[in-house]
Amino acid sequence: MASMSRRFVVLSLVLSLLLALAGGARADVGGIPLVDLKPGVVLVLSGGGTRGISHIGVLKVLEELKVPISAIVGTSMGSIIGGLYACGYSAQELHRLVVESNFLDLLSDRAHRERVDTGDNRPPGGVVSLFQVHFDKDHDRIGPMGGMAAVGLFNYLNQITATRASGPSFNDLPIPFAAVATDLQTGEAVVLRRGNLASALRASMSIPGLFDPWTMEGKLLVDGGLVANLPVSIARELFPGHPILAVNLSPDDITKDRKSFRSITDVISQTLNIMTAQGIREEARRADLLIAPNLEGFGILDSSGYDRIVEAGETAARGMSPQICALTDSCSLAAVPPTPSASPEPRRIPPVTALRIEGLPDSMARDIRHQYQHWVGHPLDMDAVNLAADRLSRREDFVSASGYVEDQGDGVAVVLSFQRRPAMEVGLDGYVTNLHTDRWVNLSAIRRDLVREGDVMDFQYRFGDQWGAELRYFTPYRGNSQWGFSLTAREENYEPSNAPADEWERYGFRGVYYVENGNTRTGFGVLAEHLRIDGRDEDSVGPYLHLAHNALDNVLYPTRGYSVTADVWSPKLETVLSRTEFQAYLPWQEDWRVVLRGGVETGDNSNPAHRAYLGDQEELYSLADHPLQGEQAVWAQLGVGHTLMKTWWGRINAEVFGTWGAVYEDWSRTAEGWETGVSFSIPGQFFNGRLLVVYDQSGEFTFGFSLGDPVWWNSPMP
C-alpha cells in the first residue's frame, strides 16, 4: 500500500506540473553569440525516454550517407544522444555507450553511491528510505521533488564528456550544440549552451515526478519536453539559414488501447503525449524534413529491446534517404561507411586567470578554493579539473560536483559547481525477515550546517525486539580529512546454538580522525564502552583503527571490483577485537557475475558482549536465529549471480551460492556450518527485497524472505 500511495503521489506531481507549465513559453537564447556554421543540416532531436535511443539509428544512416551536420538541438533523451554525438562520439560508439551499458541502473541514486556502507565511520550521504521528507534551513519542507535523483546518470555523463567538452561554450564542441530544459518557476524554455555539458543533459531529461529537478545557472530545471519536445523554432532562432532535419518520437495519433496502460510509466508517457501533441504538430510543420520512427509498443522507460529501438530509427531514416540527401549537396546514396575524420588542429591552451566556486557557502568555498588555487596562473589542465570534480563528487555532503570553464578574454576562469544536499532530512524505514527475530523500524534524521558550514549530524532510533539509538557528528572536510564521533546505546541478546543464551545493554563512544586517499578511508581514534551485563557494570577504553577500500563499479549491483572493510579495537593490552569483511566480483558472460564474499571476526571469550558470533549478520542464513559463538569466526561464500529482469525501479536478480563458516577458540576450530542455496533479490530505488531457499549441513531446508535494508549494530565493538 505504501508503494501504491507513493506512485499516486508521483503521478499527481506529474499531472499538476504539466498543467501548470502547459501554457505559453518562450526560449531564453541569450548570452551566447551566434556562430558561423559549416554547411550542412541542423539536427533537431526530440525527447521520448528510452525511445530516444532510436536517434542513434538515425545518426548511423546520416553517417553512412555522409550528411554534414552543422549543429544539434536536443530535448530530454534527444539532448543526451545529441550532446554525446556533438562532443565527438560516433553513432557506433553511442550504441555501445548507451545500449550496452546498464542505462536504467544509472537512474537509481542508490545504485551508484560511490562506496559501500562503512557503518559509523562515514558521514551520512542522505536518508535513503521509502518514506522521507527534506527541509531547508528555515525548516520549510523542500522535498523530495522526484522519485529518483539520477545522480548516477549525471556522474556517468560527466565521466564520458568531461575531456571532450572543455571549451567555454557548447559552440566549441566538434558540432555546436544546445540542450532545451524548462524553468520550473516560470514555465519558460531555457536553452543551455554553456557550462558543464553533463549538467545540461541531466537538466534536459528531468521528467517531473520521476526525476528530481536539476539546478543550473541558478534555475530549477525540469524536462524540456514540457514546452519544446521538438524544438524546431529554437533551432531556427539559434542557427538561422540552415535546413532543419527533425526526428520526432511522439506518435501522430496519441489514441491508445485501454490494455496498453500497464504501469505508472505508461500513464506518464501518455500524459506527456497529450500535453505536448499540439505543440509538436506545429513544430513539425516548421521543419524542412521530419523523420518519425515507428516506436509503437515501446515505453519511455523500457528496460529491454534497445537494439530494436535503434533499428527502428535506422529503418525510418534509411527509408527517407533521398529526401535527406536533397537537403544538402554533400551526400552519398551509395551508403559508403564513413572514414575516420582527420585529427583536429591542436588548440591553444589558455591560461587560468580565476577560480570560482558555485553552490557552496563561503567557508566551504574557501576550503575548496585553497586546495585548487594553484591552477591560477598556469595553462588550463582540464584533466586535473575533471579529476578534482570526480573526487569531490564522492563526498557525502554533495549531491554532485562538476567543472567547466568560462571565457575571460585573456584566459579562462575554472568553475567548480556543486549541488548540496538538503539542510535536514527525516526518514522512516525498517527491516523485516523470517530468518531471525532481529526485526525493526528505524527513524532517522540528518542535520547539516549545525555548528559550522559543512558539518553534519545524524540520529537514528530503532524500534523492535531489540531497541537501539545512535548519534553521530562529523566536522566539515578540510582537504581530505575530518573528525567524527558517535554515541551509541542498544540492547543485544543472543541464543547461540553452541552456548547458553545471554543479553546485555551496551553504551559506546567513538572519536576518530579520518583521512581519505582516493577510494581508501582510514580512521585513527579511541573507542570506549559501558556494559550492563549479568547484573554488573563494566567499562572498557582503548585505541581504535578503521580501514575501508572500495574498488567496486556499482554499490547496489556490482559486476566487477572488490572492497575491504576492517575495524580493530584494543580495549585491553592483551585483547584485540576486530571485524574484517571483503567482497569481490568478476563479470562472466552477459548479465552474469561470480561473487566471492567472506570475513574474519576476532573476539574475547571472557566477555559475552565481546565474543565472535557467526550468523548474527546473516553470514550464514541458516544460522541467523541461532548463531555459532566463539573467540574467532571465519566465513567465505562463493556465488554465481544473474540478472533475470531489468526495470526502471530496479532489477530482479538470482544467485546460486555456497557458504562455509567456522568458530574457533585460540584458533582451534570448535564448530562449523555450511549451506547452499539460491536467492532472488529485488534491489531498487525504493526498497530491497529478497527470497531464498537454503539447504544446510543438518539436512534441513530454510525458506526465507527479507524486506528493507539491514543495518547491523551487533558486533564485538560498540
**Per-residue cell: 114:** 560511490
Dist CA 300 CA 332 (whole Å) = 34
Catalytic, 76? Answer: yes
Beta pairing class for 41-45 and 69-75: parallel
Phi, psi of 21 (to 5 degrees): -105, 5
**Per-residue cell: 558:** 556490482
DSSP codes of every residue in 198-226:
HHHHHHHT--TEEE--EEETTEEEEETHH
Task: Find the catalytic residue in 109, 223, 458, 696.
Answer: 223
Count CA atoms within 13 Å of residue 350 on its CB side: 16
DSSP codes of every residue in 363-392:
HHHHHHHHHHGGGTTSB--HHHHHHHHHHH
| Cβ atoms within 10 Å of 166's Cβ, excluding its own | 23
Q: Do 433 and 704 contact (CB within 8 A), yes or no? A: yes
DSSP codes of every residue in 10-68:
HHHHHHHHHHHH-S---EE--SS----PPSSEEEEE---GGGGGHHHHHHHHHHHTT--
Dist CA 397 CA 106 (whole Å) = 20
- Give the angle subtended at the CA of 707 by the CAs of 705 and 709, to the nearest 5°: 125
Q: Do 476 and 453 contact (CB within 8 A), yes or no? A: yes
| Cβ atoms within 10 Å of 370's Cβ, excluding its own | 11
Query: HEC states along 270-320?
Result: HHHHHHHHHHHHHHHHCCCEEECCCCCCCCCCCCCCHHHHHHHHHHHHHCC
Determine the distance from the C-alpha atom of residue 623 to the mean position of all C-alpha atoms in its chain, rounded to a whole number: 34
Catalytic, 591? Answer: no
Burial label, 88 (beta-carbon count in 10 A; 0-12, 13-18, 19+): middle
Q: Do 513 and 524 contact (CB within 8 A), yes or no? A: yes
Dist CA 256 CA 412 (whole Å) = 52
b/e map 315-335, b = 16+ CB within 10 Å: ebbbebbeebbebbeebeeee
- Measured CA to CA in angstroms, residue 45 lies from 243, 284, 338 at distances of 14, 11, 21
Dist CA 379 CA 696 (whole Å) = 64
Count CA atoms within 13 Å of residue 101 on its CB side: 20
Task: Find the catalytic residue in 46, 70, 76, 321.
Answer: 76
**Beta pairing partners, 486:** 472, 510
**Per-residue cell: 382:** 582540464
Give SS3 for 478. strand
- Residues marked active site are found at 76, 223
